[in-house]
């Protein structure tokens, strides 16, 4: 087999740069050890240490004592389900997720699709479960008004997030008491690098979401086990005058969260994600752009079996004593499927747009254009992609 990648030269490069790589790993290991030991010191700290922390300190302490052990010893699956039934009885939990179809440059009409799924379970034992999906087209006019590239995936992603927030808001308003789960984060650090008009879609959506959550007194809870922030790490740097590092939180705290169900204490997020940008956006963190909700996000890490996950939720919910209830909901949901909140998995499956559905959408788009006497053309590459495989291998010679 002929390799395109020049494996011989890569091997030589590894040999030449082995010392630099080893030094990098050694330094990270030494610094990491200091930070792991510093994490242990948090067990004796209280919120009074926040007075020593500057702005953009990564996080601030909301609860004393670093680890909050899960208080139940569930030895069998039967015991786990009995605990689940007890803790979730009558608790209304919702979940929202979304998916999208990006505009395809193989077609001359740039149209995207976002689909959201919203579900809820009242946990009454009577099958009181509801779900719905909603779909929305992102039209060429919307791309033009936002002054973004007509085939921008980032613009579609922003509108997917907005649509997810709209669905969450509806669930928050429809139920007297509900906890709504969102797959992802409430701290939108990634949008700092985006076009201003795209950022505004995200910022408008997240601020409206916080406002609705606060008004209804129903919390939205973002959860993910694929996050790599360094908010606690940054706080440790400031508290204990440690060496600067880019280490992330989870490698530092996972040894302290070795048991299923254990969580950290709650923290207030004060993330420092300031960056230099041409439009002056970078002199502020993304949370600075949240206005009145700048200091409004609490978080904790929790062991749900498949790794360490992170939950983010409004700080008012912590102040009302909901933190352990939120942790119990996540624990109970993860028992059902094993390692991840079941309702989020269900919402993902309901929202997912599959590959064959992409093809159906473009067939519908083509039919729509023909029915409305609109010009419609496909690139030659797109035509070949839709041809049977044997035809693509047929040549003229």
Per-residue pLDDT tens digits for 329-365: 999 999 987 889 999 999 999 999 999 999 999 999 8
Backbone angles phi and psi of 68, in degrees to 5: -110, 95
Q: What is the pLDDT of residue 378?
A: 62
Kindly state the average pLDDT of the residues 108-131. Answer: 91
Under DSSP, the state recorded for 43 is: G
Q: Assign 391 a pLDDT band (cuts: 50, 70, 90).
A: very low
Q: What angle is formed at CA 305 by the lines to CA 300 and CA 311, rounded to 5 degrees?
A: 20
Residue 99 has pLDDT above 50, yes or no: yes
pTM of the entire structure? Answer: 0.88
Average pLDDT on 306-311 reads: 92
* DSSP 8-state secondary structure symbol assigned to residue 374: -
Question: How far is 391 from 341, CA to CA, in rounded Å?
Answer: 45
Distance, in Å, from the CA atom of 53 to the CA atom of 314, rounded to the nearest integer, reads: 21
User: Exposed, middle or buried by CB within 10 Å (0-12, 13-18, 19+), for 189?
Assistant: middle
What's the pLDDT at 1?
Answer: 54
- Burial class (CB within 10 angstroms; exposed 0-12, middle 13-18, buried 19+) of 311: buried
- Residue 380: the pLDDT is 46
Which of 2-11, 137-146, 156-165, 206-215 bottoms out in mean pLDDT, i.e. has the lowest?
A: 2-11
Q: Is the pLDDT of residue 24 over 80?
A: no
Contact 146, 155 (CB under 8 A): yes
Q: Domains in the chain and their CATH numbers?
A: 57-353 (3.30.2170), 356-392 (no CATH)
Does pLDDT of 291 surpass 80?
A: yes
Q: What is the mean pLDDT of residues 29-55?
A: 89
pLDDT at 244 over 70: yes
- Pair type for strands 297-303 and 267-270: antiparallel
Q: Which whole-number Å values give the CA distances from 178 to 309, 319, 375, 390, in the listed order?
A: 21, 17, 48, 54
Q: How far is C-alpha 176 from the geometric centre of its chain's CA atoms? A: 26
Structure confidence at residue 206 as a pLDDT band (50, 70, 90): very high
Residue 93 has pLDDT above 50, yes or no: yes
Query: Which range (93-107, 165-179, 277-291) has the least confidence?
Result: 277-291
Q: What is the pLDDT of the chain when averaged over all its residues?
A: 88
Q: Phi, psi at residue 100, to the nearest 5°?
A: -155, 160
Instruction: Scan for tokens 């039209």, then name that residue.
Output: 139
φ, ψ dihedrals at 121, nearest 5°: -135, 120
Helix (H) or strand (E) holding 182: strand 179-183
In terms of Cβ atoms closer than 10 Å to its own Cβ (0-12, 13-18, 19+), residue 24 is exposed
**Angstrom distance (rounded) from CA 110 to CA 103:** 5
Distance between CA 377 and CA 350 in Å, rounded?
Answer: 32
């Amino acid at each position: 087999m002929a390799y395109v990648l020049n494996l011989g030269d890569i091997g030589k490069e590894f040999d030449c740069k082995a010392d630099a790589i080893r030094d990098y790993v050694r330094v990270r290991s030494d610094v990491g050890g200091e930070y792991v030991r510093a994490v242990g010191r948090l067990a004796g700290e209280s919120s009074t240490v926040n007075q020593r922390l500057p702005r953009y300190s990564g996080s601030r302490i909301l609860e004393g004592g670093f680890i909050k052990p899960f208080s139940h010893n569930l030895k069998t699956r039967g015991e786990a389900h009995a605990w689940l039934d007890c803790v979730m009885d009558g608790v209304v939990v919702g979940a929202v997720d979304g998916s999208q179809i990006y505009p395809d440059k193989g077609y001359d009409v740039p149209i995207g699709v976002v689909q959201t799924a919203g579900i809820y379970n009242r946990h009454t034992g009577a099958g009181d479960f509801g779900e719905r999906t909603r779909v929305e087209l992102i039209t060429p006019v919307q791309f033009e008004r936002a002054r973004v590239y007509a085939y921008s995936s980032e613009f579609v992603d922003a509108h997917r997030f907005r649509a997810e927030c709209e669905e969450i808001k509806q669930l928050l308003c429809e139920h007297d008491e509900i906890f709504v789960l969102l797959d992802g984060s409430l701290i939108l650090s990634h949008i700092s690098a985006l076009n201003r008009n795209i950022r505004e879609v995200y910022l408008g959506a997240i601020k409206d979401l916080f406002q609705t959550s606060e008004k209804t007194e129903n919390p939205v809870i973002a959860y993910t086990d694929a996050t790599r922030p360094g908010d606690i790490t940054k706080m440790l740097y400031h508290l204990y005058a440690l060496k600067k590092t880019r280490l992330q939180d989870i490698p530092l705290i996972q040894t302290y969260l070795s048991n299923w169900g254990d969580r950290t204490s709650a923290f207030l997020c004060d993330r420092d994600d300031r960056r230099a940008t041409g439009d002056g956006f970078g002199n502020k963190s993304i949370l600075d752009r949240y206005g009145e909700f700048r200091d409004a996000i609490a978080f904790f890490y929790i062991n749900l079996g498949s790794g360490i996950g992170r939950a983010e939720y409004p700080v008012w919910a912590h102040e009302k004593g909901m933190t352990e209830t939120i942790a119990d909901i996540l624990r109970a949901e993860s028992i059902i499927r094993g390692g991840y909140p079941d309702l989020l998995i269900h919402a993902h499956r309901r929202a997912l747009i599959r590959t064959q559905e992409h093809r159906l959408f473009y067939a519908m788009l083509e039919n729509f254009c023909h029915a409305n006497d609109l010009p419609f053309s496909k690139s030659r590459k797109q035509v070949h992609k839709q041809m049977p495989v044997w035809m693509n291998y047929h040549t003229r010679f």
